[in-house]
Amino acid sequence: MDESQGLGIPTVELANGFNIPILGLGTSHDGGYSHSSVIYALKECGIRHIDTAKRYGCESYLKKAIRESGVNRESLWITTKLWPGDYGYGTTKAACLESCRNLGVDYIDLYLMHWPDANVPGKTNRELRAETWQAIEELYDEGICRSIGVSNFLISHLEQLKEDCDIIPHVNQAEYHPFQKPQELVDYCRSQGIVFEGYCPLAKGLALSHPDIIKKAEKYKCTPAQICIRWSIQNGIVTIPKSTKKERIWENCQVFDFSLSEEDMVSLNSLKNNSKIITLKFPLWKEH
């Protein structure tokens, strides 16, 4: 892994040669954005990777925060996502350009399809994914999107996309934490050259009270959140914890000065699996 600008946050190389910081700051809707905290993350914590989405409604706020932070655009990695309501060839292109305007950028570092399904009358989800991905491929060829990927896709969705389109996604972003570790999906992505990115690394706070995680935090003289984030990163997962509190953002970044032992990694990898926190009706995650 290389290191990004900022405070030495390592990066992971994508199949197209671009390097994504392995740690980012997640945003969301419903109170998941704090203007001053984003500026703090950029200026004081060395964060250079920001994850957002059209659905979250904060792209235009991020434009202002980035400008106020004084951080150079070229040193930033900005990910945003296409909402299923915009799936389709023409609407995808229009939505991407709208996100660029909202963010105040000429290009997006990583553009993701937010979910595999959209349930549009008259088209199968597979047909709509292929049509949408074709538009994203063209945005990539034009340099408007420097890297492209998907979010919440299962192996079956990725296999279909590989058959229907030309470019394999550079990234698949999905839920990943000690209680939800979809190793079959991670292994498949790696076999295809797809970098796996994990959101919800603290299981929306549920992991912070687990006795095994608390015990390890005491052992390493750190916090349960740092144990979860370090575990995810040490598993090679690009990790995007979300917080609007400055002290938590700082805490979440202090995970590169220690390593978990092999024994502790095995222990955390063995915690109860298949406990999804994000429970929208799609995707239909395979239980195993």
Q: Which residues are catalytic?
A: 56
Helix (H) or strand (E) holding 175: strand 171-175
Q: Residue 18: how many CB atoms within 10 A of its CB?
A: 15
- Residue indicated by tokens 């197209």: 16
- CA-to-CA distance for 13 and 22, rounded, in angstroms? 10
The Cα-based distances of 277 to 107, 169, 241 in angstroms read 32, 24, 14
- CA-to-CA distance for 216 and 60, rounded, in angstroms? 40
Pairing of strands 148-151, 25-26: unpaired
The Cα-based distances of 206 to 201, 254, 275 in angstroms read 10, 20, 11
Residue 70 and residue 43 in contact, taking contact as beta carbons nearer than 8 Å: yes
Residue 50 and residue 40 in contact, taking contact as beta carbons nearer than 8 Å: no
Residue 110 and residue 171 in contact, taking contact as beta carbons nearer than 8 Å: yes
